[in-house]
Every structure is written in C-alpha cells, then in structure tokens.
C-alpha cells in the first residue's frame, strides 16, 4: 500500500475530533474512534479508520443520533435488550458488552440484544473488550443485503459477522472475527486491481451466476463453496439473533449502508454474549487449558510455505509492528482525511 | 441406496432393545435410540442408526458407563457443569439441554458445559429438543482429530459440529447442524464409490497436501477453502467451549472413536446454550419475525436448477417421506443388525 502512515494515538484523536466537529457527543466520538482503532491497529483496514468519512457523513446526515439516550432493559438475571436510540453502533456495542459482562458475573452467562443500532465496524472490537475483562465474548451483527443464499440468485443476507474472544494467560486474547460470506468484499476489490481470478464459488454476477471475474461481482457467495448451506446457515443464525430477538429488521429490509438515504435510521440489531469462566470450570483452569491447547496448535506441523496460527496471532503481530511504524493509510483515505481535517479545523494525523 | 427399509418406531425399539441387551440401563438405551432416530428420521444417515453397532461395542467394551450417575452442579443462575459420569453422549446432552432450558426460563439464557461425556451423534438432536420446548438451542461438541488446521499438515481438530434450532409458528423448527470441516467424511466415502473428484480445498493426503482423489484422503480441510481460517476458527471455538470450559481433553488428545481401545473413557466435553425468547423480544414477536424472515427467504430468487431453502427444510421434507416409507438401511447396516438381533435375542426391524 502506498500513501502515508499515521501514529495510532494521533489517529485516535483525529477520528474523535472529526466526529465531535460533526456534532457527535463525546461518548459517541470516543467509542467510534476506539472501534476504528481496534481494527486499524490489528491490520483489519477494511473496518478501520477508512470508515471515518462514512461515519462523519451519517452523523451529519441524521441517520445516527448525535446525543443518544440509550436504555438497558434487564429482563432476567442473564438477559436484556439495549435500546440504542440510533446511536453509533460502536457506542451501543461497547455498552452492551459491559452490560453482558455485568450479568455474566452474576448469572455465569449474560446476553444482550441491541435494538435501534447502526453499523458497528469490527465485531471483534467488542469481543476483545469482553476478553480484556477476563470473559469469553461472542458478538454478531447483521447488515444490508450483499450475500446470496445457497442456491440463491439475489442478495439476501448481509455479510453477518461472528466474532469471539477468549482470554489467555499471556495477555493477548484468542481473537476470531469472520464474515459468514465466502470472502470479504475488499478481497474482490483487491483481485480487481490485481487482475486475478477469484477463488471458485466465492462470488456471483447480477444474475446470481458464479463469476471468477472480480469486475462482474454483484454479490458474494456464502462461506462453504459447494457446501454453502453452512455459510448461509451461520448468516441466518446471526440474522435471528441480531434482527429477530431484538425486534428489528432483517438484512433484506435494511437500507443500504452507503445511501443515498443518510437521514433515516436503519433499525438494525446486534447481539452480544458474555461467558464468565468462573460459572464453569473456573478462570485458572481455562487459562491453563488455553495454554496447553495453543501450544499444541502452534507447534503442530504446517504445510510447506505455510504457518499454523491461532485466531489473532497474525493480528497481534501486526499490532506490534504498527505500534512502532504507524498505520498505513491508502491514498483515498489520505485525501478524505485532508478534507475532513479542513472542515473540522484540526490537523491531519500524518 | 439399496437394501432394506425399516419403520421408524420399529427401529427405535430395536435400537433400545439392543443396547439394553448390551447392559445399558433404560435411560441410556432410550436416549441413544432417540438421538439415532432423530438423525435417521431427518435423513442424516451418517449419524443415525448406522451408529448402533458402534454404541453396542463401546457399551460392552467398558468405554461407556452402563448405569451412569450424572451430577449437575449449577454454579450460577444461568450456568453450570454436568458431570456425565461417562454416560452415553446422548443421555448427557439431552439432560444438559433440560438443565439449560430450566436455567434459561429463570435467567433468560442458560449454558451447560458437559464433562466426562462421549460421542453424542447428531448435535442437532439436542438443539431440536430445546426448540420443542419453545427455546433457541445451540449445541457444540468436539471429537478426536480428523481435520487439519488452516495451513496445517496433520490432523488436529475433530469435525467439531455446531447445531442450532429456533422455534417457528408452524411447528417444525429452523434447524441447522454443520461440521466445521469443509465436507463430511461420509461425502469422501461417497465420492470414492462414485469415482468422482472431490471439490477444491476440501481434503488432504497423509502429508497434509491437498488431494481431490477420495482414495488418498487422510484428513479433511477446515470449512472455507482458501479462507480455511474461518472453519479452523469455528472449530477452535467449539474446542474451547467443549473441551476447555469443561476441564476435558482437546481434540488431539482424545482417543480415536473407532478404537482399538474401547474400554477407556475418552474424557470428552460438549456444550449446550439455551435462550428463552421471553428474556429478549418475547416469544410472540420472535415467531412473527421468523415467519416474515422465512417467507422472504423461501420466496427469494434461486439459481437455475437450484432451490433456496432454510436450514431444516430439506430434512423436514425427508422426515415426512420417511414416516410413510420408512428409513433406508445400507447393506452393511442390515448385516450388522442381523448380528446384533441374534445376540440380543430380538427381531430385526425390517
């Protein structure tokens, strides 16, 4: 990637300052910045600071509530619904993770359905927050239609991610964050720019017919190739938890993320589950087990030219590198940041 | 499939009678038969009555406890561990599902880690049991190593299935049951008998190198093809819940299902989560949402020659067919059933 690099803390301040200038309150700006920096720090650039211009636009457009009054309705000792009042999705998801952890300390497991929320960026950010509290975290969210069903020929589910994080003794959690589509859309864009064929069974054209030409891609395939019912089923599970247990829309009903309507709230949902290891085998034994398991995994034999890694291993290595060398910004983001900096009256972070 | 067909109820009685004759107590025999019949009824023959000779063998061999005294330790309002005392996995999983539902009615969500359990057959059976109680059920279990890691060259995780069931207004739940491997091993056997090439990126030879020749398969690939870190990550999540939150072994440590050792308990775990819709949006609104969602899904456009289905649609259709026409038994199972019937002194069910 060509372009500038930016220091992590400068980036965080810049993102928060731009959203404050857009009118968002301090908690909303800080949560959005924290979430984007989670992704930018770990190398998940598709869900990092690249999203800042989008969030700026939808705060200004009215889709997002600049000063939400969220309300948590704890229905049982381990369950409840957080009405996010059309907050930024990151503010809602961090709050839901906190409520889920509080309930898990009490009930052993806690789950929060989030209603009236919005795009929350990297699902892993909120799972990570729970792991930092010593808990196992699971996070799901639906989104507008972009993935066909198994044997389907139109966009139906969103990329409907599932993330999970598990604490380890060495500090960096086991951290897993996947879309239930066969591949991420940014991979399509990458293959387009490289002129490479897409892998088998990963994307379709406007008629739902499989294509390996990145230029013809109009929808993604569900994870699983010939066994795409697996990816579609996982996406459905995410849909049921995020959209239906919260009383929200389902993916095909959700307004497109990119507009043109940027003033109407999208009635999206998300779902957060927190597990307290002390409600099961206990934290000490879980951490000892994780160490035994991860050692076996990392020392198992790998194919020539490959390397066996646990979920998160690549990302934590990248985080170490980016802490020293900063975050690379693609040229388009650099231009957008200059525009946003000018309007907000703040300095660019590079 | 050639061979005999057998009536569902006759099959259930036969399975239970054979296990009783092997020395298993009535609850164990009934639970194992119920679980096998779940799969045989729905057309999931790999996890159906084909397993009876295996269960007969391991009850007689001593691996399974003929008369287990299971103990549930409820640690919090929504969490606990069921010590299965080396019971048949089906007895343990049905009991865990009951405990999870009881806790979910109280806490909104309930989760049970099962320790000292054994092969439980179809994960979907226990998710289905929870959906029949009006709940959302999630079930996971690990197993002995058979799937390589992403970039791995040896067997590591088991096929580590995840199942989920969600109640619907029309009676048959949304029912999802998947292995986290790229394909099921019985598919390899099928392709072998058909002389067909396996799909890309689904299996490897003894050196961990990809093979499309079913005769060379020594391990399966994780779900996801080029993005196999997704399947491996999901398998890892199953491993952590099943093996580590319960204090049990992890997949590479588990004795092989098929022996030669059939007398030593395998120290396996499993995990069950139950969600009470009334702890979230409420049962009525969930059912209404499911109907809206499933109608949209089933009427969305499909590719030529394909048909869009929700998880379980194919299985419930097959169940209707099998209720009338019986369950097909492959020739090998017919021979085994004749042997078992002779030893147990009961009639064959066909």
Complex-level ipTM:
0.97
Query: What's the pLDDT at A241?
Result: 98
The answer on pLDDT for B6 being more than 50 is: yes
Residue pLDDT, tens place only, A34-85: 999 999 999 999 999 999 999 999 999 999 999 999 999 999 999 999 999 9
Does the beta carbon of B161 lie under 8 angstroms from any beta carbon of chain A? no
The stretch A248-277 carries a mean pLDDT of: 97
Nearest chain B Cα distance for residue A61, angstroms: 29
Residues in chain A with CB shorter than 8 Å from the CB of B44 are none
Q: Is A290 on the interface with B (CB under 8 A)?
A: yes
- Can you say how many angstroms the Cα of residue B9 is from the centroid of all Cα atoms in its chain? 20
Indicate yes or no: CB of B149 within 8 angstroms of CB of A290: no
Give, to the nearest 10 degrees, the angle between helix A26-42 and helix A124-132. Answer: 100
B277: helix, coil or strand? helix
Q: Mean pLDDT in chain A? A: 96
Percentage of residues in chain A having pLDDT higher than 70? 99
CB < 8 Å to B182, chain A: 224-225, 227
Q: Name which of B106, B199, B244 is nearest A289 (Cβ-Cβ).
A: B244
Q: Which of 33-72 (A) contact B at CB < 8 A? A: none
By CB atoms closer than 10 A (0-12, 13-18, 19+), residue B138 is buried
Using a CB-CB cut-off of 8 Å, the residues of chain A touching B310 are 236
Cα separation, A6 vs A3, whole angstroms? 10
Of B203, B224, B162, residue with least CA distance to A183: B224
pLDDT tens digits along A158-206: 999 999 999 999 889 999 999 999 988 878 888 888 889 998 889 999 9
Is A64 within 8 Å of A124 (Cβ atoms)? no
As a whole number, mean pLDDT of residues A82-110 equals 98
Percent of chain A exceeding pLDDT 90 equals 91
Domain A1-61+314-350 indexed as CATH 1.10.1530.10: yes
Contact (CB, 8 A) for A252 and A145: yes
Joined tokens for residue A303: 């194919």
Structural contact between residues B218 and B210, judged by C-beta atoms closer than 8 angstroms: no
CA–CA dist B128, B28 (Å, integer):
19
What is the CA angle B115-B120-B123, rounded to 5? 105
Residues 6+ apart with CB under 8 A from B104: B78, B110, B135, B274, B275, B276, B279
- Dist. CA B77–CA B242, nearest whole Å: 20
Q: Determine the residue of chain B that is closest to A250 in CA distance.
A: B293
Chain A residue at shortest CA distance from B204:
A303
Nearest CB among B201, B245, B311 relative to A281 is that of B245
Contacts for A297-300: CB closer than 8 Å, 24+ residues apart: A297/B149, A297/B156, A297/B236, A300/B149, A300/B152, A300/B154, A300/B156, A300/B252
Distance from CA of B148 to the nearest CA of A (A): 9
Helix residue spans in B156-261 (DSSP H):
185-194, 229-239
The answer, for B222 touching chain A at a CB cutoff of 8 Å, is no
**What gap in Å lies between CA B335 and CA A293, rounded to an integer?**
41
Tens digits of residue pLDDT in B81-105: 999 999 999 999 999 999 999 999 9
Of B75, B225, B285, Cβ closest to residue A279: B75
Where do the H-state alpha helices sit in chain B?
8-21, 26-42, 52-61, 89-107, 124-132, 185-194, 229-239, 283-298, 313-325, 331-344
Closest-CA residue to A56 (of A292, A350, A346):
A346
For A113, the 3-state DSSP assignment is strand
CB of A166 less than 8 A from some CB of B: yes
Q: How confident is the model at residue A2 (pLDDT cuts 50, 70, 90)?
A: low
Angle B26-42/B52-61 helices, nearest 10 degrees? 160
B156 near A CB under 8 A: yes
Model confidence band, residue B2 (pLDDT cutoffs 50, 70, 90)? low
B-chain residue closest to A314, CA distance: B229
Enumerate the β-bridge partners of residue B174.
Answer: B166
A8: pLDDT confidence band, cut at 50, 70 and 90? very high
Rg of chain A on CA atoms, in Å: 20
Task: Classify residue B86 as left (phi > 0), alpha (psi -120 to 50) or beta.
Answer: left
Instruction: Please tell me the class of the B78-181+222-299 domain.
Output: alpha beta
- pLDDT confidence of residue A100: 98
What span, in angstroms and rounded, lies between the C-alpha atoms of B228 and B271?
23
Domain boundaries, given as residue ranges, for chain A: 1-61+314-350, 78-181+222-299
Size of interface A-B (CB pairs under 8 A): 278
| CA angle, B96 then B83 then B29, to 5° | 65
Query: From the candidates B102, B207, B293, which should be mutated to test the interface with A, based on the most A CB atoms within 10 A?
Result: B293
Average pLDDT, chain B: 96
Token couple for A246: 């919260």
Residue B22 corresponds to which tokens in the numbers above? Answer: 């092997």
- Give dist(CA A267, CA B328) in Å, integer: 47
């Amino acid at each position: 990637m060509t372009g500038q690099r930016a220091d992590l803390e400068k980036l965080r301040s810049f993102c928060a300052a731009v959203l404050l200038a857009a009118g968002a309150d301090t908690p909303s700006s800080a949560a959005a910045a924290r979430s984007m920096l989670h992704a930018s720090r770990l190398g998940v650039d598709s869900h990092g600071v690249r999203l800042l211009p989008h969030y700026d636009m939808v705060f200004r457009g009215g889709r997002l509530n600049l000063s939400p009054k969220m309300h948590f309705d704890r229905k049982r000792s381990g369950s409840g619904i957080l009405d996010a009042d059309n907050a930024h999705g990151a503010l809602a998801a961090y709050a839901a993770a906190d409520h889920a952890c509080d309930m898990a300390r009490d009930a052993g497991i806690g789950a929060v359905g989030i209603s009236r929320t919005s795009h929350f960026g990297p699902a892993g950010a909120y799972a990570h927050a729970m792991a930092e509290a010593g808990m196992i975290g699971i996070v799901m969210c639906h989104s507008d239609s972009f993935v066909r069903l198994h044997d389907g020929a139109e966009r139906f589910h969103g990329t409907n991610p599932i993330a999970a994080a598990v604490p380890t003794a060495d500090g960096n959690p086991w951290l897993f964050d996947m879309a239930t589509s066969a591949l991420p859309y940014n991979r399509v864009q990458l293959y387009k720019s490289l002129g490479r064929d897409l892998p088998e069974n990963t994307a379709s054209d406007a008629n739902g017919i499989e294509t390996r030409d990145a230029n013809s891609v109009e929808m993604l395939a569900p994870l699983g190739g010939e066994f795409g019912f697996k990816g579609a089923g996982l996406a459905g599970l995410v849909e049921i938890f995020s959209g239906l247990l919260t009383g929200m829309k389902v993916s095909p009903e959700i307004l497109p993320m990119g507009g043109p309507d940027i003033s109407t709230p999208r009635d999206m949902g998300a779902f957060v589950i927190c597990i307290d290891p002390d409600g099961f085998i206990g934290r000490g034994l879980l951490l000892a087990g994780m160490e035994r398991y991860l050692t076996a995994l990392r020392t198992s034999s790998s194919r020539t030219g490959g390397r066996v890694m646990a979920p998160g291993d690549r990302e934590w290595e990248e985080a170490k590198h980016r802490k020293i060398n900063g975050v690379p910004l693609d040229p388009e983001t650099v231009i957008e940041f200059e525009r946003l900096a000018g309007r907000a009256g703040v300095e660019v972070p590079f």
